[in-house]
Amino acid sequence: MKKISFFLFAASAALIFACGDNYMTSPSGYKYIKHTNSTEGESPKIGDYGFVNISVYQDDSLVNSTYQMGRTVPISVPDLSQIPADQKGVGKANPVADVLSLMKVGDSITVDVPIDSAMRKSPALANAKKLSYAIVLEEVKTKDQYNEYLAEQRKASDEKANEMKAQEAAVAEQLGAIVKDYVAGKNKDKIKSTSSGLKYMIIEEGTGKQAEAGKSVDVMYYGMLPSGEEFDNSYKRGQEFSFPLGQGQVIKGWDEGIALLKEGSKAVLFIPSDLAYGDQGTGKIPAKSELMFYVELKKVN
C-alpha cells in the first residue's frame, strides 16, 4: 500500500489552494484538484469500498482529520446512474464518494465543498469562505472483502467490550474505597489541587502523548457521588467515551482534568459542582454535587 506523508500532502495542498487553478469537475459537479496520478495503484469499481484518509480544511486551515483519529474511513463507490435525481448534484451527492472512481490507491484529491445555507447555521461555518476535503485513497476492498473486514472488526470490538465490562466490579471497588477515604479526610498527601478547585489523584502515570486542547481523546470512566453511589460508567457499556478536548463538549472539570494526563494514565478526578452540573444537577446527580470520576486515558489522537 502506497502511503503519502500527511504533512507533505498538507503542504502541497496549501500551495495548490493558493494558486487557485488546475481545477476539474467531478461527475456531480464538485470542483477538485488531483495532486497525483498513480499508475500502479488499484482503482475502485462500483460497489467496492475505498478506505480513505480525509482532512477537512476551512479557509485553508485544518479543522479535523482522520490522521488525528489514527484510522481510515471506508466509503462505498456508488453507481451514479442509479442515484435518484433529488440526490444528485453539488450539495447533495457525497463529495468523497463522487471522486473515488477517479482515483487509484496512492492518489490524492482535494474537493471544494460549497457552503450552503443549512451549513451556515453552524457557528463554526457562519463566516467561512471555503470548505475543502483533502482525500488520500489508501486501500480498496471488494464488497465481500469489506464484509469480512466488518466481521473481524465486530469480533475484535466484542472481545474488547467484554474485557472492559469484566473490569467494572474491580474499578467500582477501587473508586469506592478512594471516595470513602476522601470523604473521611484521608489521603490528602496523594491529592493535588488546581486554581479552579479541581482535585485529582494520579493512580498510574501514563507514558504516552500528553492530552491537550484540540486533540481527540478516548477515555474509560466510572462516576460516583460522595455517598458512594454510581451514577454512570463506561465499563458497563464496554466502550470508551471519545470527545475533542477543550471544546466545551464535556463538563469543565473533565476538560481541565483530562488535560492533566498523558496517554495510559489512570487517575481520580474530584470535581466541585461549579465545574460539573452546578445548581441544576442532572439525572442521578443532585444539585450542587461534587463528583468523583475514575478515569483511564486510553488514547490521545
Among the listed residues 109, 277, 285, 294, the single catalytic one is 277
Q: Which three cell numbers stand for residue 5?
A: 506523508
Residue 279 a catalytic site member: no
Closest CA to 111 of 87, 90, 93, 134: 134
Residue 86 a catalytic site member: no
Beta-bridge partners for 49: 76, 141
Residue 243 a catalytic site member: no
Among the listed residues 9, 221, 235, 270, the single catalytic one is 221
Among the listed residues 23, 149, 232, 241, the single catalytic one is 232
Closest CA to 98 of 22, 3, 19, 24: 24
| Contact criterion met (CB below 8 Å) for 66 and 55 | yes
| Contact criterion met (CB below 8 Å) for 293 and 269 | yes
Among the listed residues 135, 251, 258, 271, the single catalytic one is 251
Residue 116 a catalytic site member: no
- End-to-end Cα spacing for the chain: 23
Residue 270 a catalytic site member: no
Residue 30 a catalytic site member: no
Among the listed residues 6, 23, 146, 231, the single catalytic one is 231
What residues contact residue 119 under an 8 Å CB cut-off, 6+ apart? 125, 131
Residues with catalytic roles: 221, 231-232, 251, 277, 293
